[in-house]
Amino acid sequence: MSLRLKLYALGNRLTLKPLFARVTDPARDGARIDRLAALAGGYPPLSLHLPRPLGGRPGHWIAGPGTDATRVILYLHGGAYFAGSGITHGPMLARLSGYAGVPVFAQDYRLLQDAPFPAAHDDALAAWDDLIARGWSPDRIVLGGDSAGGGLMLALLATLCGRGTPPAGAFALSPWTDLSLSGDSIGKNARADAVLPAHRMKEAAAAYLDGASADDPRASPLFADFPNPPPVLLQVGSPEILEDDTYRMANRLRDAGGEVQVETWDGAPHGWHMGAAWVPEARAALRRVGAFVQTSFDSASR
């Protein structure tokens, strides 16, 4: 555990966690969190970020140098469904693009203050359909996401598996997979988690669900079916309140016959990948994701 990772975790505990704990107005407070996320670091040299619509929503085409545009990562950002965008995650995704050797398409799906559940899932599905309409086949797309976006991505994956059109692979970074909040780690790691305030999670889930059931698989992919899933990589920090969301999700996918890799990064706070501009563990984790993406594409093309 590097000194930079320790400082990054401490910085999150002193800034981001109090912001999440004090949310009263999702639109206003989400914008504050987005501004704080912008301090994590800038784009690496020679990377590209172009605004491009995707699935009827604003989107972001993000690419490192020399990427293969015949393949793509469809990425869904985190932010507890009220914050985040392709802009906040752009620098991190540019590094991931360079490591994976393929561009990233990040969609700005509707946040809860704009339209509650199932709008985000509908937008994510529309983004996939748009990519297919533009000429990418399922075996040339890998899905990705972090936190709430990781859960949204896994819900999309379940929908695509049900259609019989799964992607080449999928990866999720500390995904929120259970909006019923039944995981033991939510209580066990409440004090230790440097980012997420456990006592506000129930409110956050209720705000997003807007009266829908927490076990709806489009909201909580932990309860979804995954017929014939592709390879999946899950990464989670420790201690995090969402650790059990990751481990139980892995078991769910394995029970469906999936090949699942789970990596636990001790000492890494929730969302540590966002610090890739200066945290070595963040870059190392993204390199692991990049290698997984390449392997997934290679396996799908055989």
The catalytic residues are 147, 240, 270
Q: Residue type for 252, please?
A: R
**Contact assessment for residue 238 and residue 268, using Cβ atoms and an 8 Å cutoff:** yes
The structure tokens listed for 237 are 């920090």
| Three-state DSSP class for residue 14 | helix
Vertex 123, ends 155 and 90: CA angle to 5°? Answer: 90
Q: What is the DSSP code (8-state) at residue 190?
A: T
Would you say 20 and 33 are in contact if contact means Cβ atoms under 8 Å apart? Answer: yes
Judge whether 127 and 153 are in contact, CB under 8 Å.
Answer: no
Residue 29 CB neighbour total at 10 angstroms: 17
